[in-house]
Amino acid sequence: MTKPKVSSDWLAGCAGCHMSLLDIDERIVKLVELVDLRSTPITDLKHPDEGGVDVGILEGGINNTTNEEVAKMMRKRCKILVSLGDCAVFGGVPAMRNFFTIEESLRRAYVEAESNEPNSKIPTDPELCKPTLVRAVHEVVPVDVFVPGCPPDADIIFYVLSELAQGRIPDLKKDKLMWN
């Protein structure tokens, strides 16, 4: 049996879910025995294989056009898509900006923030992506497995990955189901 290929990426999140993944500590050796880790944001390979992977993992919500593209590419190239963490599942902390207009948030960040130089401007380079409403991943592409948590506990991530590696869809219940 060939090892299932796993790719991951992060969108509008804080990287905390990937840090929590690393918190599985020495169990990562066991995991690598079970799966073929392909592209991740913390390794050299940055995009999932064109030929496709078995499991795609996305951390973070979708808050701009680039995030949309990344999510769509991951969806296209993976068989099972996992939403990892509260931002991917619900929108999370970045989604709090949805209570304001995009113009307001940009102005606050680039003009009004205390750390800005005087006369700072909102960047307008046409090459930059466009900010959008912050959405959960499943509002943009269909998601197969939801792993809420801020971040999900390392044990829960290990459980999810080991279940997927062994060809099962993880069922998050009781003490494995945590939104905070």
Q: Report the interface residues with other proteins, using CB under 8 A.
A: 83, 86, 89-93, 95-96, 98-99, 133, 135-136, 138-139, 143, 146-148, 150, 172-174, 177-180
Give least dist CB 142 to other proteins, A: 12
Minimal distance, residue 160 CB to other proteins, in Å: 11
We find the least distance from the C-beta atom of residue 98 to other proteins, in angstroms, to be 4
Q: CA–CA separation, 138 vs 176, rounded Å?
A: 21
Comparison of 78 and 84: residue with beta carbon closer to other proteins = 84
- In the bound state with other proteins, the residue whose beta carbon lies nearer, of 59 and 86, is 86
Shortest reach from residue 97's CB to other proteins, in Å: 10
Q: Annotate 145-164 with b (16+ C-beta within 10 A) or e (fewer).
A: bbbbbbbbbbebbbbbbbeb
Sign of CA dihedral 90, 69, 63, 24: positive
Spacing of C-alpha 21 from chain mean position: 12
CA 168 to chain centre: 21
Backbone angles phi, psi at 145, to 5 degrees: -130, 130
Return d(Cα 41, Cα 43) in angstroms, integer. 6
Query: 4 vs 92, which CB is nearer to other proteins?
Result: 92
- CB closer to other proteins, 34 vs 93: 93
Torsional class of 119: left (φ above 0), alpha (ψ -120 to 50), beta (otherwise): left
Shortest Å, Cβ 95 to other proteins: 7
Q: Give 70 or 136: the residue with its C-beta nearer to other proteins.
A: 136
